[in-house]
Amino acid sequence: MFYRLAHGPRTPVLYLHGIPTSSTDFNELLGLTSGIAPDLPGFGRSGKAGHLRYTLDAHAGFIVRLLDRLEIERVKLVAHDWGAGGGLLFAQRAPERIERIVLIDALPLWADFSWPRLVRMMRAPVLGELVMGTVSRRRFERLLLQAAVSTDAFPEPRLAEAWLRFDQGTQRATLRILRDACAAGGARLQQIATGLPRLAKPTLVVWGERDPWWPASTARRYLEALPDAQLRVIEGGGHWPWLANSQLAGELAEFLAA
């Protein structure tokens, strides 16, 4: 397993990335806070073996084992995109280990959500493998840039790193996670949503106003479900609103320092 670690005097922050990127997304934030940012199983530089389980539940279990191995008792959780799935499961199972939460453009958990066409295609057997197998570097980078809205969020070195790690193992892990989470009408996601009202932790929900994948209406669903949450919508922001936005990065660090 690969992870980035920044030591500090306060409770460490656990940063969980989304699909299809890695802990590289949090380099700048790690420079502002203490914490740990792992590459989740199947992503980045971590193991991607075909026999491993790639589900949100498996990610939650991995988080527990990682923190136990590093002898970290309590964390402040920052979860983005699909990383919020495993992160929220972990928080619901072990709320005593969580001090506060930041959710950034987190995956939708509700059954009435209309998934983007690309996600619907990847969920389909055979078709999903065909879609993954025909993704070119140009198309991959275009998808990231369109979702990020601002090209400043993904300069060329960051795009190159993301493409390098988007290998067969990550493609396989992505398909398995999507299919498991969305099976039976998204029953697993709905179970996570049902547990949100029990997470009485100070929570900041951050959302890019122009996120083309998860609309801002999803942020308001989180705001309504979580008992101690506040919402910060980033005007003009995309799916990774903190990248290339030093002001927002500073605000997140300030919230986490409380």
Q: Residues 249, 28: contact at Cβ < 8 Å?
A: yes
CA dihedral 115→116→122→126, nearest 10 degrees, is 90
pLDDT value for 131: 94
DSSP per position, 225-256: HSTTEEEEEETT--SSTTTT-HHHHHHHHHHH
Reading the block at residue 119, the tokens are 């996600």
Residue 125: DSSP 8-state: T
Residues of the chain with pLDDT under 50: none
DSSP per position, 13-33: EEEE--SS--GGGGHHHHHHS
CATH number of 3-257: 3.40.50.1820
CA distance 115 to 109: 11
CA distance 62 to 84: 14
